[in-house]
Amino acid sequence: MKKNSVLFILFVLPIVAYLFFASGVNGFTKLPVITTKIPDVGSWQSLNGEKVHLDGKITILGFGGADVLKNRGNLFNLNEKIYQRYHTFKDLQFVMICADGTQDDVKKIMDAFDEFTDVSNWHFLFAPKSEIDTFYKGLQLKGKLSNEASTPNVYIVDKARNLRGRKEAKDYKEGYNTFHPAELSNEMLDDFKIILYEYRAALKKNHNATKQLLK
């Protein structure tokens, strides 16, 4: 009896504990909404002339402003840590808002990326700095844009245009700093995985509901 108890503690109990906590994370974790229904971006011109909207897509949203070429290293970090890993996910897009007049700068960056990355899910939109400032204020965030209408932060926006992040005061996070690769690899990747899990769980639930109706 004593031997069986020791074996249970050493081998079975850790497995049970792991399954309990794993099911807790997967079953109950949800990334909070920071701002509900942010504005859409459909009226701005894109680099390649395609129409870009935030509805119906998980969006990684950023602001390159007027100094996007100067801060291209931030885009490189985001491309390496997040984009290349997940860009084939069909309901995901990366949208960067830049100032009018930076089209040639963005094209240089994308031409460089195109040598080692499928850039089809990168979307760049262009607008006057004053319009970018107004749009950013509509996000209702604590952070501010620079005088060049830029920020190193990127934001996770869900398919319903809700900006998602961490709301608890001790762990508050509305955006993820692309200047720091470690922040992208840790905080952002963790939160992004939660969003993906939410949608995969929803798809599975809808699929099961459809199967029940067809019975």
Residue 188 neighbours by CB distance under 10 Å: 24
Q: What is the pLDDT of residue 199?
A: 86
Averages of pLDDT over each 10 residues, the chain, 215 residues? 55 50 49 97 90 96 97 97 94 97 97 94 97 97 97 98 95 97 96 92 59 40
Q: What is the pLDDT of residue 1?
A: 59
Count Cβ neighbours within 10 Å for each residue of 146-165 and write b for 16 or more, e otherwise: eebbbbbbbbbbbbebbbbb
Q: Label the pairing between strands 163-164 and 92-99.
A: unpaired
> In sequence order, which residues have a C-beta less than 8 Å from that of residue 45 and are 6 or more positions away?
125, 126, 127
**Measured distance CA(108)–CA(86) in Å, rounded:** 23
Residue whose C-alpha is closest to residue 32's, from 173, 154, 204: 173
Q: What is the pTM of this model?
A: 0.82
Query: For domain 33-214, which CATH number applies: 3.40.30.10, 3.40.50.2300, 3.40.50.1370, 3.40.630.30?
Result: 3.40.30.10
What ranges do the domains of the chain cover? 33-214
Q: What is the pLDDT of residue 9?
A: 57
Q: What is the pLDDT of residue 90?
A: 87
Bridge partners of 123? 95
Using CA atoms of 36, 205, 53, 133 in order, give the dihedral in degrees to the nearest 10: 20
The radius of gyration of the chain from alpha carbons, rounded to an integer in Å, stands at 21
